[in-house]
Structure 1
Amino acid sequence: MIARRAIESDRDAVLALYRELRPHDPPLAPDRAAALWSSVHDSPHSLIAVCEHEGQVAATCMLALVANLASEGRPIGFIEHVVTASAARRLGLGEACLAFATDEAWRLGCCKVVLLSGAQRPQAHRLYEKLGFNGDVERGFVIKRPVG
């Protein structure tokens, strides 16, 4: 098992994991996917973490850094799109991927790392708590764009 920053050749595997996470999302056109990948992958304010299992990318998450005027100007890290391939679950890949992303957040000077998770995912919440995330420290509120 190897957790690391994603490289260009990981793009298709990461997009396949996103399809597992969000099967109802329409697929991105290849040129749009390439442009978005570059925007996230090449930015100094974000990174895509992956975890390999048996030579294949089997888990991913994204860390985004948000500039911050408080906390001595240290950025806030946001982790999103945590997904492990269904065939590779319960092997510690998600844990390794999240630990890598969190370590990178600390290395990059973040004052805190925020991770939002669906309210109905207690198994995922147990994993996050195992890694030190605490759902009772602050409360997250989400508003989603209206359909149509």
Structure 2
Amino acid sequence: MNADELVIRPVTAQDIPAVVALLAADPLGVSRESPDDLTPYYAAFERLAADPNQHPVVAERNGQVVGTLQLTVIPGLSRAGTTRTVVEAVRVRGDERGSGLGTRLMEWAIEESRTLGAGLVQLTSDTSRGDAHRFYERLGFTGSHVGFKLVL
């Protein structure tokens, strides 16, 4: 393997500090992530690892985590029983932005969705992320819904 080769692989417990650092480095994540206490992230990782419908991955280059995303499989009844996937928490390390890494991660997610039998890939993106919206549109995604949240 070339030292600069990108590897997309499942997240391991050892990756949690790097993944949380990516989440916290994000303008929105800086106020909602807690990299000083990784306890809840390790607990969440254990739940993800036990669920066959969860596929958190990292992108690794030169032995360093440079990107991440989570792919969730949702079997459903709607759309004639179509299975869908949801892409969440897409993050690329600052010095890797513009390198094509985000595109590679999303291409992986789309191809993995096909492999897992999904007929639809969806994602949400905060309304403040105009650059991300353009990025997803360039990949073929269309803005189709209005999202709502209820914090519990």
TM interval, short-chain normalised: 0.7 to 0.9
Shift of 1:53: 2.6
The counterpart of 1:52, out of the listed 35, 56, 60, is 60
Q: How many residues align?
A: 144
Task: Choose 27-36 or 48-57, whichever is displaced more.
Answer: 27-36
TM-score (norm 1): 0.85
Do structure 1's residue 24 and structure 2's residue 36 form an aligned pair? no
Q: 1:59·1:85 contact (CA, 8 Å) conserved in 2?
A: yes
In the alignment, the residues of structure 2 paired with residue 9 and residue 99 of structure 1 have an alpha-carbon distance, to the nearest angstrom, of 25
Q: What is the CA deviation profile of residues 112-146 of structure 1, one whole-angstrom value per residue up to 9, with x for unaligned ones?
A: 111111223222122212222122xx213222327
Q: 1:116·1:140 contact (CA, 8 Å) conserved in 2?
A: no
Once the two structures are superposed, the pairs formed by residues 10-21 of structure 1 within 5 Å of their partners are 10-21=15-26
What runs of 5+ residues in structure 2 fail to find an aligned partner?
A: 1-5
In the alignment, the residues of structure 1 paired with residue 76 and residue 140 of structure 2 have an alpha-carbon distance, to the nearest angstrom, of 22
Q: Identity across aligned pairs (percent)? A: 28
Residues 25/133 of structure 1: CA separation in 2 closer, same or farther (3 Å cut): same
In the alignment, the residues of structure 2 paired with residue 140 and residue 87 of structure 1 have an alpha-carbon distance, to the nearest angstrom, of 32
Cα RMSD (Å): 2.0
Do structure 1's residue 112 and structure 2's residue 117 form an aligned pair? no
Q: For residue 107 of structure 2, what is the amino acid of its counterpart?
A: A
Secondary structure at the residue paired with 1:119?
coil
TM-score (norm 2): 0.83
The counterpart of 1:77, out of the listed 85, 96, 100, is 85
Q: 1:49·1:100 contact (CA, 8 Å) conserved in 2?
A: no
Shift of 1:72: 4.1
What runs of 5+ residues in structure 1 fail to find an aligned partner?
A: none
Shift of 1:9: 2.3
